[in-house]
Amino acid sequence: MSNDLETLESGVVADIAAASDEAALENVRVAALGKKGSISELLKTLGKMSAEERQVQGPAINGLKNRVTEALAARKAELRQVAVAARLASEKLDVTLPVRQSPAERGRIHPISQVIDEIAAIFGDLGFSIAEGPDVESDYYNFTALNFPEGHPAREMHDTFFFQPDENGERKLLRTHTSPVQIRTMEMQKPPIRIVIPGKTYRQDSDATHSPMFHQVEGLVVDKSANIGNLKWVLEEFCKAFFEVPSVTMRFRPSFFPFTEPSMEVDIQCDRSRPGEVRFGEGNDWMEILGCGMVHPNVLRAGGLDPDEYQGFAWGMGIDRIAMLKYGMPDLRAFFDADVRWLQHYGFRPLDMPTLFGGLSS
């Protein structure tokens, strides 16, 4: 019997030593000391023994039980130590590592988005609101309603991207300018109208200064007295605020657009004598920046307004080019390459929102 006890004890002790985690150790405990465990079964035999036998076996079995209980407790403490050490090692944190920047710190606003925000801030301050329209337009809004007669050569000058005709034979197109939103706004809103329309425009044209997708901002004022004097003042205020110079000199040249009469192109005085730099408000050069004019009576009519009652002025300007000028970005194509390095260099911080009181670009 005592031999059996020794064999049992060395077996259980070996199992305890071999248990590699607390769950395995618990299995060993149940197998030895659980209700039907090997040692528990031995303890049950004591009741059926003679008094003499029990005097010998009682201390032997109980001694075995106590030693196994202690061995289990000791191994449990050991395994817990090991588990804690492993967890500490796996959850180690190097507090000397540099802190990772938050997305709001790392992200950059594209210069076009920033310039559109600047334009919105300037015209918002002058009492204008923002209007938008679809990029995919009908021939009617892009041309006909804007007084481009069918077959007029001005349509050809727009290098339009057309879609396949639909089942009704109507050919949708990618708008070639933001002017269609003039008509859409007049259809929806009674004068006085004071809106600016920033957005994407499309023409089949691509080189260092032209991209097939580019951006324009359109302006439209319609009321009972809007005149060229107002137009000139608004454009001058805009150019001073946008280029952040105290004064600008502008030159209005006669031109032609189907949707305005009279029509003008506007040049802004600049200095291009320093290489790679353009300065406004000084110098002997002129740079064309926009087209404008008094809204043609046919356009007012197309917008549902009576030209004997209402009059208005409008202008259209390329955003990409004035952004290039203002922020010294030499190649337009880089605008749309989605190169993160370019954006890191020329982009703006997300929370630096342009305001007139805080400074547009500072």
Is residue 316 part of the contact set for ligand DAH (CB under 6 A)?
yes
Residue 104 CB, shortest distance to ligand DAH, in Å, is 36
Q: Please check whether residue 234 is in contact with residue 221, taking contact to mean a CB–CB distance below 8 angstroms.
A: yes
Alpha-carbon distance 105 to 108, whole Å? 8
Residue 135 CB, shortest distance to ligand DAH, in Å, is 14
Which segments within the chain are labelled E, that is strand?
129-130, 136-137, 173-174, 193-202, 213-223, 250-257, 260-271, 279-280, 285-295, 311-318
Residue 316 CB, shortest distance to ligand DAH, in Å, is 2
Q: What share of the chain is helix, strand, coil (3-state, %, to 5)?
A: 45, 20, 35
Closest to ligand DAH by CB, 31 vs 154, is 154
Q: Please check whether residue 252 is in contact with residue 266, taking contact to mean a CB–CB distance below 8 angstroms.
A: yes
Residue 147 CB, shortest distance to ligand DAH, in Å, is 11
Alpha-carbon distance 116 to 109, whole Å? 11
Count of beta carbons in the 10 Å neighbourhood of residue 308: 8
Count of beta carbons in the 10 Å neighbourhood of residue 209: 15
Closest to ligand DAH by CB, 114 vs 176, is 176
Is residue 314 part of the contact set for ligand DAH (CB under 6 A)?
yes
Closest to ligand DAH by CB, 72 vs 314, is 314
Question: In the set 57, 147, 185, 260, which binds ligand DAH (CB under 6 A)?
Answer: 260
Is residue 203 part of the contact set for ligand DAH (CB under 6 A)?
no
Q: C-alpha 82: how far from its chain's center?
A: 47
Is residue 218 part of the contact set for ligand DAH (CB under 6 A)?
yes
Is residue 179 part of the contact set for ligand DAH (CB under 6 A)?
yes
Segment lying near ligand DAH (by CB under 6 A), choices 15-23, 34-42, 286-294, 325-333: 286-294
Q: Closest-CB residue for ligand DAH? A: 316
Alpha-carbon distance 330 to 53, whole Å? 105
Question: In the set 141, 148, 243, 257, which binds ligand DAH (CB under 6 A)?
Answer: 257
Is residue 114 part of the contact set for ligand DAH (CB under 6 A)?
no
Question: In the set 191, 198, 293, 312, which binds ligand DAH (CB under 6 A)?
Answer: 293
Is residue 322 part of the contact set for ligand DAH (CB under 6 A)?
no
Alpha-carbon distance 114 to 128, whole Å? 18
Is residue 291 part of the contact set for ligand DAH (CB under 6 A)?
yes
Residue 292 CB, shortest distance to ligand DAH, in Å, is 5
Alpha-carbon distance 332 to 278, whole Å? 16
Count of beta carbons in the 10 Å neighbourhood of residue 232: 16
Collapsed DSSP state (helix, strand, coil) of residue 184: helix
The answer on whether 41 is annotated among ligand-binding residues is: no
Residue 221 CB, shortest distance to ligand DAH, in Å, is 11
Closest to ligand DAH by CB, 141 vs 257, is 257
Question: In the set 29, 75, 175, 177, which binds ligand DAH (CB under 6 A)?
Answer: 177
Alpha-carbon distance 61 to 65, whole Å? 6
For residue 46, the 8-state DSSP code is G
Q: Which residues carry a binding-site annotation?
A: 261
The footprint of ligand DAH (CB under 6 A) covers: 177, 179, 218, 257, 260, 291-293, 314-316
Q: Which residues carry a binding-site annotation for Mg(2+)?
A: 261
